[in-house]
Amino acid sequence: MTTPPAPPRVPAELAAAVVDPHAYAQRERVDTALARLRADLPLGLAEIEGSDPFWVVTRHADIKEIERQADVFHNGDKSTFYTTRDSNARVQMLTGGEPNLIRSLVSLDGKEHKDLRGVVFPHVTPRAIKPMEEAIRAIARDFVSQMLSAGNEVDFAAEVAFLYPLRVIMTVLGVPAEDEPFMLKLTQELFSNADPELNRARAALSPEELLKSLWETTMELEGYFKAVTEKFRANPTQHINSLIANATINGEYLNHRQMMGYYIIAATAGHDTTSNTVAGAMWALAERPALLGQLRADPALINAFVEESIRWEVPVKHFMRSAVADVEIGGQTIRAGDWLMLNYQSANRDEAVWADPFDFRIDRKDNPQLAFGYGVHVCLGQHLARMEMRILWEELLPHLTAIEMAGPGERTISNFVCGPKHVPIRFKAA
């Protein structure tokens, strides 16, 4: 009898980099680590003290294959994002044994996922969102007008990129404009909890304090959405929050955790990802003077610009999966119960797919970026995200003749959903 070979181990310094929130804030650091892994060990096991071991999946093809096999690689059996054993134990204590604090679409599988996704899905297809185009364009015009009237310098991340997608998604959800600051604050607390500038405590926190603050944010969101349920059950509308409040599966309303998870994912991931991409796109524009001229001369290139900015910024850095059966992926044997990190930042820099992945180019013939994921868990809001980004650039770029960075840009300290938090630019208006 032969013993199966031990899985190849990711070198400790590279394993540390792929989970370090600071490495993503200094993008080159994590890009360097991921490029080394793609070259030398594209699928290896990371062992980090205090965490369960996990495979780091870095290749585009392997991530696609894992996402394609959603029946074999589950989202919700273990934590859907990287966490430590201690944090996971506390989450299980708080949730009564579930591995995720929030029970949302990204941490569900099988029939429950399909049923819940079906509540909103018909309302966010390209055809369903097309009638929203003019309303979204009006929102974009408001933000462009505010930006142009405020001088020739702006922190584009804080003043435009964080706020425009927020206004769009809150309109679609049926959240009043006066609640937008609350939703932005809680979204940042949720996704940027490792960043002392944006988290709930506005301070560097221990893992235990981080989890406590996440729980407090979640409870505050649940309190808010309890009233939303009451409001939309009394007076149903076509807003997404009303669909969630009134949805039934087998004749029953969604249960508390399903409903709260749905509200929270729609209200947070529904704008933060787009905000990060828009901010990253402006940063790329400001550093490439010729790009603005190209886009102004041929606005039909804006779709390619949007797609490249999604590839470039890749706002969701990773999700975790867990295998339910032994399966071979990328030449390695993954065992039932194994935990895997799908690193989307790495997938979107894969040299096997893009000859020049570290160049920002809008002339790519094919751009199969994986920032929205793949398979049955592909981003529910991807078509809305693309449309609102296209509209913003269509409205803004004709008004600008030059853009440059007015100071150093800065990225959020996070290894999960993140992007630029400051993009100071100087511009010349047309």
Partner 1 sequence: MPPFQRWRCRNCGLVYDEALGLPDEGLAPGTRFADIPEDWYCPDCGSEKSDFELIET
- Enumerate binding residues for partner 1 (CB under 8 A): 64, 67-68, 121, 124-128, 368, 372, 374-376, 378, 382-383
**Please, which residue, 155 or 307, has the CB nearer to partner 1?**
307
**Exposure string over 302-331, b if 16+ CB within 10 A, otherwise e:** bebbbbbbbbbbbbbbbbbbbbbeebebbe
Q: Are the beta carbons of 262 and 254 closer than 8 angstroms?
A: yes
**Smallest distance from partner 1 to CB 190, Å:** 25
Q: What's the CA gap between 14 and 48, in Å, rounded?
A: 10
Length of the chain: 430
**Please, which residue, 114 or 256, has the CB nearer to partner 1?**
114
Q: Give the phi and the psi of residue 421 in degrees, each rounded to 5.
A: -105, -20
**Please, which residue, 385 or 400, has the CB nearer to partner 1?**
385
**Please, which residue, 109 or 195, has the CB nearer to partner 1?**
109
**Smallest distance from partner 1 to CB 372, Å:** 7
CA distances to 106, 113, 145, 370, 390 from 244, in Å: 16, 14, 34, 27, 27
Dihedral through CA 255, CA 384, CA 153, CA 419, nearest 10? 60
**Smallest distance from partner 1 to CB 68, Å:** 6
**Smallest distance from partner 1 to CB 336, Å:** 23
**Please, which residue, 128 or 405, has the CB nearer to partner 1?**
128
Contacts with 287 (C-beta within 8 Å, 6 or more apart), sequence order? 405
**Smallest distance from partner 1 to CB 287, Å:** 29
**Smallest distance from partner 1 to CB 385, Å:** 12
**Please, which residue, 37 or 265, has the CB nearer to partner 1?**
265
**Smallest distance from partner 1 to CB 22, Å:** 33
Q: Give the count of beta carbons closer than 10 Å to the beta carbon of residue 256.
A: 12
**Smallest distance from partner 1 to CB 405, Å:** 33
Contacts with 277 (C-beta within 8 Å, 6 or more apart), sequence order? 309, 310, 313, 315, 371, 385, 389, 419
**Please, which residue, 143 or 374, has the CB nearer to partner 1?**
374
**Please, which residue, 59 or 200, has the CB nearer to partner 1?**
59
**Please, which residue, 127 or 408, has the CB nearer to partner 1?**
127
**Smallest distance from partner 1 to CB 127, Å:** 7
